[in-house]
């Protein structure tokens, strides 16, 4: 028999939920954690909903970091951003391992839980890394830069912080089309918004620079060394939809 815990879908919500579970006496193997809106109730379940409590999540965050380190905590966060099945339950078990073994957990590579978290977080950080290079911004009428993408994982937040450093003096919008989420940066701070539709038209320069970039992209290829397979390996087709040079 499983005990099902539901959380609100946010990272802090999940931490609150895990903190709550840690303070109750349930058998680890019987814990299931799921997002409230995605959860499909089973016949015998009586799920418990744990509401977000910032103090509690903050406390657990500190506890995990002092038992291990920031890098390990970031792994947990990245795992949370992944689309891996049952990630919440694995994160719960992983946190338990950290509280027991400290940052040595990364050497327990035989362990399924550790393996799961390592894999999922690597997958996310790889995707973030790809988009650092492959995100394409276009200038729209009011000089704002606009980028759209459809990432596999929910990486809008970390990717936005990356571009805050990179494009400090520009106003920009990054649009996760798959999840209908936006981040907006006004040269001071980033705001995150949900369920927004955007209509924008290009600035006068935009067409010229797209043309220049396409030309440059073509010019740089060395005909005698053509290797489209290798190109696809480095830049898989899933990224092409919003790549200026591929359209």
Partner 1 sequence: MDILEKLQILGAAAKYDVSCASSGSKRETNYGIGSTFTAGICHSWTDDGRCISLLKVLFTNECLFDCAYCINRKSNDIKRATFTPYEVAELTMNFYKRNYIEGLFLSSAIKNSPDWTMEMLYKTVYLLRYKYQFNGYIHVKAIPYASLDLIRRTGFLADRMSVNIELPSEKSLKLLCPNKTKESILKPMEFITKVGEEERNFVSAGQSTQMIIGATDDSDRKIITLSQHLYKKFKLKRVYYSAYTPVNDDPRILKVEKPPLLREHRLYQADWLIRVYNFTADELFEKDENLDLEVDPKVMWALRHLDKFPVEVNKASYEELIRVPGIGIKSARRIIKNRVFHSLDFDDLKKIGVVLKRAKYFITCNGKTYERHLIDTVPEKVKLQLIEKKAAEQKVKQLSFFDSEVFTSVITGEI
Binding region for partner 1 (CB under 8 A):
104, 107, 109-110, 129, 132-139, 145, 147, 163, 165-170, 205, 209, 211-213, 215-231, 233-235, 243-245
What DSSP character marks residue 206?
A: H
Dihedral pair phi/psi, residue 146, rounded to 5°: -130, 130
Residue 119 C-beta: closest distance to partner 1, Å: 13
Q: Which is nearer to partner 1, 3 or 210 (CB)?
A: 210
Residue 174 C-beta: closest distance to partner 1, Å: 10
For residues 72-98, one letter each, b for 16 or more C-beta atoms within 10 angstroms of the residue's C-beta and e for the rest, the string is bbebbbbbbbbebeebbbbbbbbbbbb
Q: Which is nearer to partner 1, 179 or 226 (CB)?
A: 226
Q: Which is nearer to partner 1, 1 or 228 (CB)?
A: 228
Residue 217 C-beta: closest distance to partner 1, Å: 6
- Distance between CA atoms of residues 240 and 247, nearest Å: 8
Q: Which is nearer to partner 1, 49 or 217 (CB)?
A: 217
Terminal C-alpha separation, the chain: 53
Residue 83 C-beta: closest distance to partner 1, Å: 24
- Distance between CA atoms of residues 35 and 9, nearest Å: 5
Residue 203 C-beta: closest distance to partner 1, Å: 11
Q: Which is nearer to partner 1, 194 or 219 (CB)?
A: 219
Paired with 185 in beta bridges are 172, 190
């Amino acid at each position: 028999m499983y005990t099902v815990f539901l959380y609100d879908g946010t990272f802090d919500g999940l931490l609150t939920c895990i903190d709550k579970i840690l303070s109750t006496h349930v058998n680890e193997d019987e814990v299931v954690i799921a997002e409230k809106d995605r959860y499909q109730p089973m016949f015998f379940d009586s799920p418990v909903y744990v509401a977000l409590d910032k103090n509690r999540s903050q406390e657990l965050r500190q506890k995990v970091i002092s038992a291990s380190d920031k890098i390990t905590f970031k792994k947990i966060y990245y795992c949370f951003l992944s689309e891996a099945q049952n990630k919440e339950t694995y994160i719960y078990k992983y946190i338990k391992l950290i509280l027991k073994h400290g940052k040595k957990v990364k050497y327990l590579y035989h362990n399924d839980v550790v393996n799961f978290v390592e894999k999922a977080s690597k997958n996310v950080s790889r995707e973030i890394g790809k988009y650092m290079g492959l995100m394409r911004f276009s200038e729209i009428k009011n000089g704002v830069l606009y980028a759209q993408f459809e990432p596999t994982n929910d990486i809008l937040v970390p990717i936005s912080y990356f571009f805050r450093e990179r494009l400090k003096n520009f106003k920009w919008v990054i649009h996760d089309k798959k999840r209908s989420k936006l981040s907006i940066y006004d040269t001071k701070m980033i705001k995150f918004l949900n369920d927004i539709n955007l209509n924008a038209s290009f600035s006068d320069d935009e067409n010229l620079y797209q043309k220049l970039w396409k030309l440059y992209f073509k010019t740089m290829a060395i005909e005698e060394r053509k290797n489209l397979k290798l190109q696809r390996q480095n830049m898989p087709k899933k990224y092409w939809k919003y790549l200026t040079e591929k359209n």
